[in-house]
Amino acid sequence: MAKKKTLNTKVSIGRLKLKNPVMTAAGTFGYGEEYSKFLNLNNLGAIVVKGLSLLPKQGNPPTRIVETPAGMLNAIGLQNIGIENFIKEKLPFLRQFNTPVIVNFFGDSIKEYAKAAERLSRVSGIQALEMNISCPNRQAGWSIFGTDPKVTSKVVKTVRNATDRTLIVKLSPNVTDISLMARVAEDAGADAVSLINTITGMAIDIRTRKPKLANITGGLSGPAVRPVAVRMVWECSKAVNIPIIGMGGIISAEDALEFIMAGASAVAVGTANFVNPRAAQDIIAGIRSFMSGQGIHNIKKIIGGVNA
């Protein structure tokens, strides 16, 4: 048995060093404040904040979420306060903690992506950028950022040139071959890829005969999608050399370890925060106790460690 204090849970995402591999998933942890009363933000590997755009966005009308078997559909539609408000109102709070802040962001054009990245790179207290090219809840046409390899390549290259921060590209699962998209991101200069974003889904109220979500379709997340996410992480890990941040239905330490063994250098906890506001912290503790139980001194030893 490894003694607890000798456990090394440090991982790297590009130049970014994390004290442990557990971060929060964009859009499920607000701007950090909301959960700061439930867990110690200092304990997290990183905090990923709700997706930001240059200007504030309204998002979609309600109903915005509906529960599905072991999962949920959301169609928030990337409502956010905008980058400037975030920098002014939210970032000072996050700077107090000894935990890297990763800003998830998006644009409605390649230019907007670049502008957003540039603006965010001029601010201290933001350690990395995660570009969201994979939200299923934006207007028609938007999805090509994450599903058309040519467009993906172009937008990632442009953002790469606009920032010197660690750049993470968040991939869509709604594609035929996600490992191809990971390679495209790598070739375009991404420091890491994160996956999966939500899978497009729909639910209908058979009594009113209306979609349960005002936006008609939404993104499926939660434990239901985990097997799909683990498979995709595994496929990508065989395809690229940059680190992978795995997510999709992680609710326990066992789940997180599945992703790590499939090839993820770090993981993000999303929907589980809603189920248990202390989920991310509990998962870190669980990983440590698994490591010490199994005599694993360094988490890096098990990254990609599945015998397949």
Partner 1 sequence: MSKLFRSSVRENRKLTTDHYLITLRPLKKIRKPKPGQFFMLSVDSGLDPLLKRPFSLHRWLGGDFQLLYETVGKATNILKYKAPGNVLEMIGPLGNGFPAGPSKTGILLVAGGLGIAPVFALAESVSSRRPLLFLGAKSRKEVLCIEKLRSLGIRPTVTTDDGSLGKKGLITDILIDFLSRQSSTCLPVGKVVNRYRVYACGPKPMLREMSRITKKFRLKGYLALEENMACGVGACLSCVVNTTDGLKRVCKEGPVFPAEEIIW
Ligand X SMILES: Cc1cc2nc3c(=O)[nH]c(=O)nc-3n(C[C@H](O)[C@H](O)[C@H](O)COP(=O)(O)O)c2cc1C
Among 4, 88, 95, 210, binds a copy of itself (CB under 8 A): 210
DSSP β-bridge partners for residue 204: 211
Among 220, 236, 239, 240, binds a copy of itself (CB under 8 A): 220
Of the candidates 198, 199, 303, 297, which has an alpha carbon nearest to the alpha carbon of residue 259? 303
Site membership for ligand X, residue 104 (CB under 6 A): yes
Binding part of the chain for ligand X, among 142-150, 244-252, 257-265, 296-304 by CB under 6 A, reads 244-252
Task: Give the nearer residue to partner 1 in terms of CB position, either 173 or 249.
Answer: 249
Among 12, 153, 174, 292, binds a copy of itself (CB under 8 A): 174
Mapped onto helix, strand or coil, the DSSP state of residue 200 is strand
Q: Which does 304 bind (CB under 5 to 8 A by kind): partner 1, a copy of itself, ligand X, none?
A: none
Q: Which does 26 bind (CB under 5 to 8 A by kind): ligand X, a copy of itself, partner 1, none?
A: ligand X
Residue matched to tokens 């559909």 = 73
CB-CB contact of 299 with 9 (8 Å):
yes
Site for ligand X in 166-225 (CB under 6 A): 170, 197-198, 221-222, 225
Q: Cα–Cα distance between 26 and 99 in angstroms, integer?
A: 15
Task: Give the nearer residue to a copy of itself in terms of CB position, either 121 or 147.
Answer: 147
Q: Which does 258 bind (CB under 5 to 8 A by kind): a copy of itself, partner 1, ligand X, none?
A: a copy of itself
- The distance of closest approach from Cβ of residue 2 to ligand X in the complex, given in angstroms and rounded to an integer, is 28
**What is the CB neighbour count within 10 angstroms for residue 76?**
20
Q: Is 42 exposed, middle or buried (0-12, 13-18, 19+ CB in 10 A)?
A: exposed
CB-CB contact of 74 with 203 (8 Å):
no
Tell me 25's DSSP state. P
Q: Cα–Cα distance between 247 and 268 in angstroms, integer?
A: 5
Among 82, 125, 277, 286, binds partner 1 (CB under 8 A): 277
Site for ligand X in 36-65 (CB under 6 A): 50-51
The catalytic site residues sit at 135
Site membership for partner 1, residue 84 (CB under 8 A): no
Binding part of the chain for partner 1, among 70-78, 84-92, 108-116, 167-175 by CB under 8 A, reads 70-78
**Helix runs in the chain, H state only:** 83-85, 91-95, 110-121, 144-147, 149-162, 178-187, 226-239, 253-262, 272-275, 279-294
Q: Cα–Cα distance between 273 and 281 in angstroms, integer?
A: 10
- The distance of closest approach from Cβ of residue 171 to ligand X in the complex, given in angstroms and rounded to an integer, is 10
Site membership for partner 1, residue 197 (CB under 8 A): no
- The distance of closest approach from Cβ of residue 154 to partner 1 in the complex, given in angstroms and rounded to an integer, is 30
Residue matched to tokens 């998962």 = 283
Contacting residues toward ligand X, per CB under 6 A: 25-28, 50-51, 74, 76, 78, 104, 132, 135, 170, 197-198, 221-222, 225, 247-250, 269-272
